[in-house]
Structure 1
């Protein structure tokens, strides 16, 4: 399974959400300029929650989750 297939799967979506939460928590705990991690974490949470993959367009695939997954089944 390629990394793109994993990111498009339900497990990949949950992995992005969890990674985003970890980054936000780290930013809050560390403080200072680490808030940049919170911004990145928020993007990961949004990508997983709203079902889109930011890496997909780099590989010529659609951004939206359902259309993205269809490219692997056909």
Structure 2
């Protein structure tokens, strides 16, 4: 799990604003039926923009990604 959190906290793992935008667009395309999907898309978009990781506190790690990067270190090369 630390490898996953390390990837999310890295600059390469900053895909969350894009996935949030996709959820918002999918919800808007379905009009009134999936307005909750659009609302759900705001969460990853806001977390990615604010540089926060909501999964880290569940594992006893800091919420802020800058502190998380300091603790977990860089992403190992593939």
Calculate the TM-score normalised by the size of structure 2: 0.84
| Matched pairs, number | 72
Asked if 1:49 is matched to 2:37, the reply is: no
Unaligned regions of 5+ residues in structure 2, if any? Answer: 74-78
Unaligned regions of 5+ residues in structure 1, if any? Answer: none
Q: Which runs of 4+ in 1 moved over 2 A?
A: none
Calculate the TM-score normalised by the size of structure 1: 0.88
Q: Could you say which structure has the higher helix fraction? A: 1
* 2:8 alignment partner in structure 1: 7
Query: Rg bigger for which structure?
Result: 2
Shift of 1:49: 0.6
Q: How well do the aligned residues superpose, as a CA RMSD in angstroms?
A: 1.3
Relative to structure 2, which stretch is displaced further, 1-10 or 60-69?
1-10
